[in-house]
Structure 1
Amino acid sequence: MVNLNQEDVLEFSTLLEHAADLYKVHAYSASFGEGLIEHVIVTLVGSTKATNSLLGCRLLLKFLDRQDNAQYLLVPTLFYEFSQIRLKIGEYDPNDKSFIRQHREKLNLNLLQAVKLHGTNIVNLKTVYSIVCCMVLEVPCGLTAAAAACTAMAVQDLALHEQGIPAPCRYWMHALVVSVMSLICWVHKAPVLYTYVNHIVSRRAKEAPHLNPPMMYFYKIGRHHVTWNKPTLFFEDWELRYALWKHFQGGQAQKPSKDKIGTKKPTLHIGH
């Protein structure tokens, strides 16, 4: 696959995706041969070639998406507390959590690599978004909430500080970030985190609506809109850590969150 030209990759990808559609995934740890997921994540998702990376992301999404949620996660949106959404939340399984823990560092590293290298392609970026959201929905626990938040914060850091990214693509990344944060809130019914996310969304609506969903190819920026990196319009690591810790520290997590991050204040680093 690595040595194929891009036309061959496109042709071969159709066959691979069809095979992935036919494959029935049950428990993650029991459904994949040794090295398969790691190969998809490292060799394809993290590829320097946009087509290979997109193929890897699509395969990974098909493998993770047991609840058929991907069809409702095509573009970043805001998930409000009382939204009636057709998304399905998976049943918590400690074996699935162990699977995510095993691969979380490579997932974070290579998804971020995909955004860094190919985030100016809206199709690639949307597919990364779908993967992160599916992980939160399929394995509803503190580990995946923290892992998704960590990935989102890394994307925000890229959008704020990486050189050479066109302004509209930066706005896409910020839309991805706030959408992931709101989905974590919706899945886990986390009131403190919801309050924080809603404050960010409200400030943006008034001062910089281009930072909220939806993604657009062309943005109409008003004269009164903020286009510089005003700190109050973006997520702060310590605020986010506190909100997650507050919810998962013990006894406060509601269904479907059946496990906890821990009793100590956690870090958002994906290795925890």
Structure 2
Amino acid sequence: MNDRDRTEPVVDLQLDRAHSSRIYDYFLGGKTNFLADRMAAADVANVFPAAPLAARINREFMHRATRLLAASGMRQFLDIGTGIPTPPNLHEVAQSIAPDARVVYTDNDPIVLAHAAALLLSTPEGRTAYVQSDVNDPEGILTAPQLLATLDLRKPVALSLNALMHFVTDDGRDRAHTIVDTLKSALPSGSTLTMTHGTADFAPEAMQKILDIYRAAGTTLQFRSRAAFLRFFDGWELLEPGLALSHQWRPDHAGDATRVTDAEAACYAAVARKP
């Protein structure tokens, strides 16, 4: 077999189409985004000027929640819908507290795979892995060889679904909750679910325009109400302060919870533990 025979198939990165993870990267000030992504981001910011702020608040929540879980003894993390590796990444936060932490990242954007090396720079004591997968196939994620070689699903796992499930529409079948229930059921007692989710509860007109912009770019969204978000945690015990807006969940500084409005955050957040 010659070198040409060994060449991997060319992956179409679809750089001419906006992708949610690259739009998010742009809002975070990252550099892995392209003209289509920046144009869609500009359209979103035009109807929702707080979009970059909301993205940063969501990222800050992930950092706080990860620090809390690592400090409380969690050593295994499964981050689904990872997105572009904008540092500090989840494993960097977790391993800064627990160097032996093990982290598995998953995403369905092929360009994330192209940057996966940035996700695999583990501490010597810990380990990281990357799975190219889609949350719509939770069984495929849970049985991926890379995951099973990195995580022990007999022991507690910190599952992260940050700013992800609003990209799963129900289509009349309650699909999003079924997917999350499948993931939760595979994890043992002591596992946790960390999650954020966009909502139209505070700015319905702007959120509807965002839905239209993403749909025009080929991505469907479904923002959910407080009650619908709370259902993702059924049967698990919410950690204090329970369900909150992303900027109000255990802020690092007292003033952080009041520096933006609920409409600007437009995102619910919570962490729960399996009894």
TM-score of the superposed pair, with normalisation by structure 2: 0.27
Name the structure with the higher helix share: 1
